[in-house]
């Protein structure tokens, strides 16, 4: 049985809220800022989420504006997210071939309730 993996940033309030929802469950914490994903891992995550890079990038992040990502291709946005993982929206809960963006964190229940 696949276990849960939480892409977590402890400095993020939404990420901490998501972690509380998962209390008592067998969850592997992936601190993706400290342990950045490869571009291949990020592509797999996007596939599980059913999202494009432009849908997962943090548009309010100062770096988003500095890199002028608004006018970039999906591939360029993906490359930026690989290079600067703080651009990745969070929190994200993964289980097997599925994932959900915890915006709001209560969305985790969609994946948890599937069991």
Q: Tell me the C-alpha to C-alpha distance, in Å, between residue 56 and each of 26, 30, 78, 110, 115.
A: 25, 17, 9, 18, 25
In the residue annotation, 82 being an active-site residue is answered as no
Catalytic residue among 6, 12, 67, 82: 12
> Both ends of the chain: CA-CA distance in Å?
10
- Residues carrying an active site annotation: 12
């Amino acid at each position: 049985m696949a276990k849960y993996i939480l892409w977590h940033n402890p400095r993020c309030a939404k990420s901490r809220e998501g972690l509380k929802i998962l209390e008592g469950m067998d969850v592997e914490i992936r601190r993706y800022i400290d342990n950045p994903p490869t571009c291949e891992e990020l592509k797999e995550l996007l596939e599980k989420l059913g999202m494009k890079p432009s849908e997962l990038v943090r548009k309010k992040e100062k770096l988003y504006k500095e890199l002028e990502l608004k006018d970039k291709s999906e591939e360029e946005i993906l490359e930026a997210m690989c290079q600067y993982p703080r651009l990745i929206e969070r929190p994200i809960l993964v289980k097997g071939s599925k994932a959900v963006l915890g915006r709001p964190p209560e969305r985790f229940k969609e994946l948890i309730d599937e069991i």
